[in-house]
Chain A
Amino acid sequence: MLHIENPEYYTITLTVNGKELEKSVPSHMRLLDLLRNELHFTGAKEVCSEGECGACTIFMDSKTVNSCLILAVEADKSEIITIEGFPKENSLTELQQEFIDHHSVQCGYCIPGMVLSGEQILKDHENPDRMEIKKELSGNICRCTGYHKIVDAIEHAGHK
């Protein structure tokens, strides 16, 4: 979290996981802090705080981004989807089911980011190969080093 004396507040409107919200936020508040501390969507995690690890990955206007590198004020009028926004209507996405079937989850800390980056890969590539998946997952770190099964899950979801 960033700190500042005499914060300036701004009102923003945004859609988070399908719900329209209006919030007053200090200009220095990061989007990650808004999501976790104010809106209680704790799926996005804070780990490195500098865009290296991808644990804070969310969708912003249909693109994966690191929410630790974005101010809440920058998210004005944007559409945010966190891992809580997947699945819709209480059913898992194909990719989430593949993560379960391939035992891709160890400690789980990186998984919200991994799933969302996986969804982005499936949007960008039809039937991605393992090299493509690894390259496109390079912004997400798993410190259990369980990459093999994560790549398996994405590869299988891409075959469908």
Chain B
Amino acid sequence: MKYYTPSSLSELNDLFLQTNNSKITILSGGTDILPRWEEGITLPKHLIDLKKINSISGIVEHDNKIIIGALTTVQDIYKSELIKTKYTALHQAASQFAGVQIRHRATIGGNICNASPAGDLLPGLYVHNAMIELTGPNGTRKLPINKCITGVGKTTLNNNEIVSAVILEKTEELSVFYKLGLRQSMAISVVNFAIAYRQTSPNLFDLQSIAAGAVAPTVVYLKEFTKAVNEGLPLEKAISLIEHDISPIDDIRASADYRKTVLKNLLTHKLKELYV
């Protein structure tokens, strides 16, 4: 396994061209890749470590946008005051993400590229309409996050592209994140979801969007349900509409039925908290 540490995006692009058509793995925090190797997955021929590319790390404000570099760690997201006040769902997800040691290494770019249906940062990115910046030898392009992640472990990245940044519009929308794991911390989500809403008057909210994880191959927007609630349908009646958008499965952590039921109950509970 050849190991490379490009220090800029142009060096990275040169490497992509040099190693064309061979087996490349991109390394950022490594917290998902190394356990896979331990399980016996063959190591790649070329391992490209992004961590020396300083230009894709850190959180910056730019005009009416917040740009989160792909190498920004989950712990840095957790500690950012800006994320805490403006993108609360993302802050809350980071605070419940694995344990401290993993948060010190795991990156937002890695969480996106890993494309786990249960990825904890993802619902918050979905409800805040995050744009994902992809960079490769052919330049840069941007995709909405739901067009970037297409299935379990699947993304629309080309072979020689990396996620370089996450772009969030500045917004007056508020958001919350909720996660159910099999224990309080250090757990993979059984279900998770984020809600973005606008406060229209002291006791009135307008739902913007709801995204749920671990109930379909990717994080999904609960569109029908959100629309019905905004149109005034009582929560108890509207909640069954989430079934239009979810397709949970049985796995080692929970059954499909459990996921469906618990998502309905938790979502109803959380929305009642908001509406009271």
Q: Do A and B come from one complex?
A: yes
- The chain A residues found within 8 Å of chain B, CB to CB, are 2, 4, 7-8, 10, 27-28, 30, 49-52, 54, 57, 63-66, 68-71, 73-74, 76, 117, 120, 134-136, 138-140
Listed A/B pairs (5) with beta-carbon separation below 8 Å: A27-B3, A51-B31, A51-B101, A70-B30, A76-B5
Residue in contact with A69 in the complex, picked from B31, B100, B184, CB distance below 8 Å: B31
Known: A51-B35, A73-B3. A135 touches B43 (CB 8 A): no
Residue in contact with A138 in the complex, picked from B31, B34, B184, CB distance below 8 Å: B184
B185 at the interface (CB under 8 A from A): yes
B105 close to A4 (CB less than 8 A):
no
Q: How many chain B residues touch the partner (CB < 8 A)?
A: 26
For A74, list chain B residues within 8 Å (CB): 27, 30, 49, 51
Tell me, in angstroms, the Cα distance from A70 to B3 when the chains sit together.
13
Q: Which residue of B lies closest to A10 (CB)?
A: B3
Tell me, in angstroms, the Cα distance from A50 to B75 when the chains sit together.
19
B37 at the interface (CB under 8 A from A): yes
The number of inter-chain residue pairs (CB within 8 angstroms) is 86
For B30, list chain A residues within 8 Å (CB): 69-71, 74
**B26 to A: closest C-beta gap in Å:** 13
Residue in contact with B100 in the complex, picked from A28, A30, A117, CB distance below 8 Å: A117
B105 close to A138 (CB less than 8 A):
no
For A134, list chain B residues within 8 Å (CB): 185
**B35 to A: closest C-beta gap in Å:** 4
**A73 to B: closest C-beta gap in Å:** 5
B37 close to A57 (CB less than 8 A):
no
For A71, list chain B residues within 8 Å (CB): 3, 27, 30, 34
B102 close to A69 (CB less than 8 A):
yes
Known: A51-B102, A139-B102, A140-B99. A27 touches B35 (CB 8 A): no
For A52, list chain B residues within 8 Å (CB): 186
**B225 to A: closest C-beta gap in Å:** 31
Tell me, in angstroms, the Cα distance from A57 to B102 when the chains sit together.
10
**A140 to B: closest C-beta gap in Å:** 7
Known: A4-B43, A30-B34. A64 touches B49 (CB 8 A): no
Tell me, in angstroms, the Cα distance from A74 to B30 when the chains sit together.
10
Residue in contact with A50 in the complex, picked from B2, B38, B49, B99, CB distance below 8 Å: B38
For B51, list chain A residues within 8 Å (CB): 74
For A136, list chain B residues within 8 Å (CB): 100
B53 at the interface (CB under 8 A from A): no
B105 close to A70 (CB less than 8 A):
yes
B1 at the interface (CB under 8 A from A): yes
Tell me, in angstroms, the Cα distance from A51 to B97 when the chains sit together.
13
A49 close to B186 (CB less than 8 A):
no
B38 close to A54 (CB less than 8 A):
no
